[in-house]
Amino acid sequence: MILGHIVGKLTTREFSFKISGDAKKFEYVQVYHPEHTWVLAQIIEIEKTRDESIAKCIVIGYKDQGKITPLRNPFEHGSEVLQAQDDFIADIITGQGNAYIGKLQGKDIKVSIDLNKILTKHLCVLAKSGSGKSYTVGVLIEEIVEHNIPVLVIDPHGEYSAMRKKNDHDKKLLPLFGISPEAYKVREYGDPQISPEARQLRLSQELSSEEITQLFPGKLNATQLGILYNAIGHAKKTTLPALLISLEREENSAKWTLINAISFLQRSNIFTEIDLPYHEMIKAGGVTTINLKGYTPDIQEVIVYKLCSDLFELRKKNQISPFFLVIEEAQNFCPERSFGEATSSKILRTIASEGRKFGLGLCVISQRPARIDKSVLSQCSTQIIQKVTNPHDLKAVAMSVEGLTSEVEKEIQNLPIGTALLTGVADIPLFVTIRPRKSHHGGREVSPVEKKEDFTKKVEAFKQEEVLPVIKPLITASDISLMHEEKGTVKSILIPCVRLTCEEKGQRFDVIVDRTSGRLVTNVDDFSTKEIPDLSDLTKEDLLCLSQAHKKETIDVDNPSREKLLSKKMLVETEGSIILSDDFIFSKLINHQSFTPLQYETVSYDEKKNAEYGIMDARKKLSAFTTIIDDADCFVVRYEFEKS
């Protein structure tokens, strides 16, 4: 369709045409150039007088050897301007990527992002609150996960754990975009008391001197630094408890500020002797979320700093896979320096500038672009921008995006929810209608006025269902089925257990005891167990013999306790030496703690085992090793594959 003819002043980048057809703002047009064949352009503004309408356009370019090439000579006056064909638009600007995020606004043309580009050159998502940032990032994460790239999300509000469920809100919309609902595997770490499905978030308390100084809020003065480094030098280990003891021995009164800060970190219960399983965290085939819901802002910064520091060092040494790091509410973790310095600022600036060299991609998300560190924002070569209205934020967006015209900048203030301005994919910004999520979106607004339920009906429905306290493995029945090539069925078996809350040296943790055997469950996923030794009938000589075996000391052949403990299978003889049996647990019960949460829910099962072992018996046995604070009756779900 002919929309008009070129008139007025021409350059290789801009031209105008007199409208004779149905032209609209931001519509794509094509013009024939005698030297370069067909060239794509876009209408950026329309001016109308009483006599005529003039459309102003910017030149996008033409395809030459697979690349978009700009003009070297302007168009001819009087050249026909045609409405661009969808195939032509798609060939020029949308055929570069492999991550499908939506369609060109007003067109049935798919828009994709090059994942290799954002993994090496970073991405930012900027928009005011409620404009759909998290929804858009969820779409992007789905594409990344499906390309087997590990994803780690710093999630202050606990929104992304909902990706483990299918999208049941947009069933009519999904087919229009050629997609279907899908659930994803989510590995979630956080506070189980706030988020029951999360594993307990624990950080290693083994810290370097540089890490210790970074953990303090604000800058330390010279005196405080001197005291701190002196205490680090005298401490046996660079752990928080050891450092606290060492600081207390210092005579300078400036130590109390340091002691208060370290005591605050210790009370947060995020630093333990057990390291986070980073190899499990950075793993393809799912998304890992660090759910910071419930943690104070100061502790959130510490968590982000320590996690990102450890992961960046492991990535530099090639000890973990390349991965994609998503930072929600980035203005809190890497603020512009005029707004203060966060504990996590320095490491995020380092990742933004150096992460691309080591295959660590970064995505920063913010509702306040003006408050993000400019050095971080400038490293993002791909931007997804949704509705922004704050003048300071608009200015920050305009400064960070190349090729953003004043007309497009004004349009950002009027973008509807679900539409985004995408830059960095093509030479000009693209308006994209974001596709619906395949998975459930956890960031939907909560209405303060809820529909009242019939309480009587709710109670009747509850009576008809069996709600049990259960602990589920991370591996699902579907996973078990996929692991076996042969045909068969997966049985769900409920094992009666007791979860015991223990305390050692001020630190609380949970362990699980199987009530069918009395053994300690060391791994819920494969239901591996170890024996808890009964020390009640052992003499002092027997306990001394066990102590010698634990210290790997030689045990006298004529020692009567030796034969007694061998017969009880607490000791084993191997290659002429007597050692502790690996089937028993004799020390460090905390190493076998369970992070899998207990949940009350309706369960269907094929078999429920009977309890043969009392809760008080389990408490009595474990009391010889630790202090029991509480107990909770429960069932551990175990899956077994049966060939058909």
Alpha-carbon distance 18 to 46, whole Å?
Answer: 10
pLDDT beyond 60 at 566: yes
Using DSSP bridges, classify how beta strands 507-514 and 520-523 pair: parallel, antiparallel or unpaired: antiparallel
Residues in contact with 354: Cβ distance below 8 Å, sequence separation at least 6, in sequence order: none
pLDDT computed for residue 304 by the predictor: 93
pLDDT computed for residue 453 by the predictor: 44
- For residue 511, name the pLDDT band (cuts at 50, 70, 90): very high
- 3-state secondary structure (DSSP) of residue 3: strand
- Span 362-402, pLDDT tens digits: 999 999 989 999 999 988 888 899 988 888 888 888 887 76
Using DSSP bridges, classify how beta strands 80-83 and 2-7 pair: parallel, antiparallel or unpaired: antiparallel
pTM of the model: 0.66
| Residue 171, token pair as written in the block | 């069933």
- Span 157-199, pLDDT tens digits: 888 999 999 988 888 888 989 999 999 999 999 988 888 888 8
| Residue 528, token pair as written in the block | 């591996």
Burial 490-513 (b: 16+ CB within 10 A, else e): bebbbbbbbbbebeeeeeebbbbb
Rounded average pLDDT over 474-486: 77
Do 24 and 70 form a contact (C-beta atoms < 8 A)? no
- Span 311-333, pLDDT tens digits: 999 999 888 889 999 999 999 99
Which of 78-87, 164-173, 440-449 has the lowest average pLDDT?
Answer: 440-449
Do 454 and 607 form a contact (C-beta atoms < 8 A)? no
What separation in angstroms does the CA of 42 have from each of 28, 39, 45, 112, 524? 4, 10, 9, 19, 59
Angle between helices 345-354 and 297-316 (to 10 degrees): 30
Backbone angles phi, psi at 23, to 5 degrees: -95, 145
Burial class of 615 by CB neighbour count within 10 A (0 to 12, 13 to 18, 19+) = middle
pLDDT beyond 90 at 224: no
DSSP 176: G
DSSP 293: T
